[in-house]
Amino acid sequence: MIKRFYIMELNGLLIYSKTFTKDIFDDNILIGFFASVANFSREALQSVIKDIELGQDNKIVLFENKVEKLLAVAIVNSNDDNDLINEILRNILHDFIILFSPDYDKLDRSEVENLIDSNIKRYSSLPLLQRIILSWIILVPISIAITILNIMATSYYFQYIFLEDRLITQQELINEVIPRVVLISTIVILIVYILPNLIQGYIVLDRNLAYLNSILYMIIILVAYFNSTEPLFFYTIIYGLPWAVLTSIVFAHIGYRLGKRRKIVKKK
């Protein structure tokens, strides 16, 4: 989350600042530091440094507009995505220049705050409880649809491919039926666990809750299969449970990482 926001000239003249938390920062020291970093990095590296870790779960992200010689700076959490914050700063500075250039000394503060708040809101997540509820609103229909389709497919497989009015020999069972059932169960694991966990990880935006959702979702799926499908197929699903757990957690994490690149996470 953004804790503090600044717009300043490259010579160190502060144009606008806003605080979003109760954290205490010494603006005079910070503004001088920002200007020094920007100017030094431009001279030494031919470009402004984009981010610097400050410690204590703080880092700064900087964006420079070379034409207007302005610098937008945000103090954010250490785990916030740098590219996302940089994109927000770029958009804010772009809108700010369009509205107020070149008369930066005649700002309408309420208009600036509306500009900043609208840009930040566009990239902010829903509150945590709403994200959890939304994830399950999406998960439940997906899980029902996927489970029904897979149960129908496996029932068709058993009823019309291998079990139609003939007995299966032990050799056929070992060489044909079981390998194909294992293959189907692997495909089912991929279909049933990849997409839903990817989606819920993206929405929840909390690593631990995404993992918890994955486990709960997996339990629901297993109960549904236990009560609805062929015993042989269900046991192959149980046999592949470690793979299902790994798949669920990995793709929940991938969804979480993708979501973090698109949204500033609200803690509450």
How far lies 87's CA from each of 51, 92, 93, 105, 258, in Å?
Answer: 13, 9, 10, 25, 15
- Residue corresponding to tokens 């402004």: 48
DSSP 8-state symbol, 105? G
| pLDDT at site 66 | 83
Strand arrangement, sheet containing 2-9: 14-19, 2-9, 70-76, 58-65, 51-55
Tokens at residue 230, please? 């062929």
Find all residues with CB under 8 Å of 61, minimum gap 6, and list them: 50, 51, 73, 74, 76, 80, 82, 85, 86, 89
Q: Is the pTM of this model over 0.75?
A: no
| pLDDT at site 139 | 83
Q: β-strand 70-76 against 58-65: which pairing, if any?
A: antiparallel
Mean pLDDT of the chain: 80
Choosing among 3.40.50.10470, 3.30.450.70, 3.30.420.40, 3.40.50.11900, the CATH entry for 2-122 is 3.30.450.70
- Does residue 255 surpass a pLDDT of 90? yes
pLDDT in tens, 44-91: 766 677 888 887 888 989 888 888 888 899 988 888 888 899 999 999
Find all residues with CB under 8 Å of 97, minimum gap 6, and list them: 65, 68, 70
Tokens at residue 10, please? 């490259």
Answer for the pair 6, 72: CB distance below 8 angstroms, yes or no: yes
pLDDT in tens, 133-146: 999 998 888 777 77
For the chain, the domains span 2-122, 128-260
pLDDT in tens, 179-231: 766 676 667 667 778 888 999 999 999 989 999 998 888 888 777 767 765 56
| pLDDT at site 88 | 92
> Could you tell me which residue, 160 or 53, shows the higher pLDDT?
53
